Amino acid sequence: MGKKKETKEKKNKNKKVSKEQELLNSFVGTFCGTEGGFGFVTVEGFEQDFHISESRVNGAIHKDTVEIRYLRSKKGGRPEAEVVRVIERGIKQVVGTFEKSKNYGFVSCDDKKIPFDVFIAKENSKGAEDGSKVVATIINYGDGKKSNPEGAITEVLGHIDEPGVDILAIAKGLDIPTEFPGKVLKQAEKVASEVSLADMDGRSDLRKITMVTIDGEDTKDFDDAVSLEKLRHGHVRLGVHIADVANYVQERSALDKEALKRGTSVYLLDRVIPMLPFALSNGMCSLNAGEDRLALTCFMEIDKEGNIVSHSIEESVININRRLTYNQVQKLFDKDKATVRDLRHLKKMLFLMKDTAELLRAKRGQEGSVDFDLPESKIKLNAAGIPVSIEPYIRNDATRLIEDFMLAANTTVAEHFYWQEVPFLYRVHGAPEPEKMEKLATFIRNFGYFLKKSGRNSDTIGKSIHPKEIQKLLKSVEGTPEETLISKLTLRSMQRAKYSDSCDGHFGLAFKYYTHFTSPIRRYPDLQIHRIIKDSLRGRLNSEKMDHYRDILPGVAKLCSDYERRADEAERETEKLKKVEYMEGFIGQTFDGVISGITKWGIYVELPNSVEGLIHISKLVGDYFYYNEQTYEMIGESTGKKYRLGEEISVKLLDVDIKQRTIDFVPVREGEEVDWERYLDR
């Protein structure tokens, strides 16, 4: 009886709006604004958002916590509601462009989900000039009808045309801290002294072991080094040596509090916004070649089949023999003569590393690990911040080698501390949602591919799919025209990885145990677990410490997951902006691309350089086109002309909008000259 009741409650939770909830009529949720002035409210436990028309927003602003009153549900559509009151404001400050008048001004917000300008009185303008990028605190939210919100400028970032101001504005708009408080900088300088004998006391002295760092050309902070030794019986001992940042950043210190506020370093094309001040991130904590450094080391003994048969985790002192780049190591693997001569003393170890990495990768593959080898791009800017090229980012044996070694260390450390039964932070990745897997299965059938469910009692694909099925799909599309498209759609069908104090496994990597241990300079979760590891190694994990970690870890996991998403959004928006700026120089030119997305408002086309733009449905001439959701096709009603995902298409660049960060294409048929007046008039 209890089970039936539970099932019924679960169904009600996922229904759009139950009869009982209609009678309650009132809910609390988060308002998501739109450029058009209307919005949506997300209420926990509801499958669908509530639609709020512009006339019923009643002063609510993007990210506000609001109380809403349910009105009705349109047939087959979202439930509709109105905002009754704003419970808590979600946005306290805005970033935008200042428009100056004689006695006052307005801030036009960069975030288009805020569909109004903020009034700035002359005395609150902080000397900002017309066209300045500014940060403004909202001091009066207005009535949502006749009067605009009023603000006070707190920071002038620079003129909109100054180099770097546009990227800085993106960071500020997402509340990413860009400057370190003086107290934090002083503390960083104070602790960043040379390694002393006292620091080395009780640590394993590994300075005579040959080890290297392998990173990108532009890397300044080195938080991982690797070593490899041949053992008897064909086994090898892999050492992954990670900067001991926790030795310098004590819990609850000013440095620690600031690092947690940031959560992660943010990489924005022309700059890095670091989690830790440069005195530590590029200085004392960085594993610079030829300098004694404190580390946490994970040694792993690996057999001929790629199994990790034993391991040890210890505090250590290391000294890096050589700083290598991915390009150098790849040239060695490609047997470039000059590089072979240059790295002759390290050649044997590096080739053994290559073989070991391939073993580990093959072992992961047997378990079902999914490798999304999607094409990535690197945008190069000149000194003025203008994009000059978009080049493919190449993964090779050297980059994969480091990836494989870091994965091995992360899963080894996670499993070790899981069985120690101590509070810990894990990197978890849930199985895909059944509905998304069903949609993916439906789509790939159009290309002749299939996903199989596992288990006798499985009635849907998504409920029981194994990572191996995803792996098989990606292998089967390798080298085909639809490879990138299907890989991207598969990735979008997966859940997002996050941090948790519960060891729930990593679906994509097919790991039961996984954590982030290898980057404490740039990720707070790694720094947090380093403290737990050190307390464990030193016998300091008493009941009081265990309770302390149990109390704080859920909150740390939530904050770090949120800040990771924030950093991803900043990186994504920065790339989008610079791609639009780059394409501005190619208006009127023709490109060959691939249809990467189809919606009811148009067709998205991706070019080989990873730039994506939209053919608006109004630009599809010659017929009335409609979107078929079941087949993911745009279809001409009279002609039957179809546009399908993954199809190659020729397009002309019609226009770009730097402010909106959008790119507009129009289709070009073979041998056709585009009638620009016709397109511009539509």
User: What is the SS3 assignment for 26-55?
Assistant: EEEEEEEECCCCCEEEECCCCCCCEEECHH
Cβ within 8 Å of residue 215, ≥6 positions away: 222, 323, 324, 325, 326, 402
User: Mean pLDDT throughout 367-386?
Assistant: 86
More confident position, 188 or 73: 188
Residue 679 has pLDDT above 50, yes or no: no
Eight-class DSSP state of 511: B
Count the alpha carbons within 13 Å of 148 in the hemisphere toward its beta carbon: 15
What gap in Å lies between CA 160 and CA 111, rounded to an integer? 15
For residue 464, the model assigns a pLDDT of 64
202-214 b/e with 16+ CB inside 10 Å = b?
Answer: ebbebeebebbbb
Q: Which long-range contacts does 126-131 make (Cβ < 8 Å, 24+ apart)?
A: 126/152, 126/153, 126/154, 126/155, 126/156, 127/156, 128/98, 128/100, 128/153, 128/156, 129/98, 129/100, 129/159, 130/98, 130/99, 130/100, 130/105, 131/97, 131/98, 131/159, 131/160, 131/161
User: Mean pLDDT throughout 351-362?
Assistant: 97
Q: Do the beta carbons of residue 254 and residue 183 sit within 8 Å?
A: yes
For residue 23, the model assigns a pLDDT of 46
What gap in Å lies between CA 70 and CA 41, rounded to an integer? 11
Residue 459 has pLDDT above 80, yes or no: no
The per-residue pLDDT of the chain, averaged, comes to 90
User: Mean pLDDT throughout 523-540?
Assistant: 97
The token duo for 540 is 């300091």
Distances (CA, A) of 333 to 200, 407, 576: 36, 21, 35
Q: Mind listing the pLDDT tens digit for each residue in 580-610?
A: 999 999 999 999 999 988 999 999 999 988 8
Phi, psi of 372 (to 5 degrees): -85, 90
Residue 21 has pLDDT above 60, yes or no: no
Q: Is 170 strand, coil or helix?
A: helix
Bridging pattern class, strands 212-215 and 322-325 = parallel
Residue 678 has pLDDT above 70, yes or no: no
**Using 50, 70 and 90 to split pLDDT, how confident is the model at 19?**
very low
What gap in Å lies between CA 487 and CA 475, rounded to an integer? 10
108-147 b/e with 16+ CB inside 10 Å = b?
Answer: ebbbeebbbbbbbeeebbbebeeebbbbbebeebbebeee
Q: Which helix (H) or strand (E) holds 74?
A: none
Q: Out of 82-91, 180-189, 214-223, 629-638, pick the least confident.
A: 629-638
**Using 50, 70 and 90 to split pLDDT, how confident is the model at 2?**
very low
| Residue 289, amino acid | A
The token duo for 150 is 């009023």
Q: What is the dihedral of CA 442, 445, 447, 449, to 10 degrees?
A: 120
Q: What is the dihedral of CA 66, 67, 72, 74, to 10 degrees?
A: 20
**Domains in the chain and their CATH numbers?**
2-88 (2.40.50.140), 93-162 (2.40.50.700), 182-426+512-573 (no CATH), 431-494 (no CATH), 587-681 (2.40.50.140)
The token duo for 637 is 């009603």
Maximum Cα–Cα distance across the chain: 83
Q: Out of 88-92, 173-177, 400-404, 666-670, pick the least confident.
A: 666-670
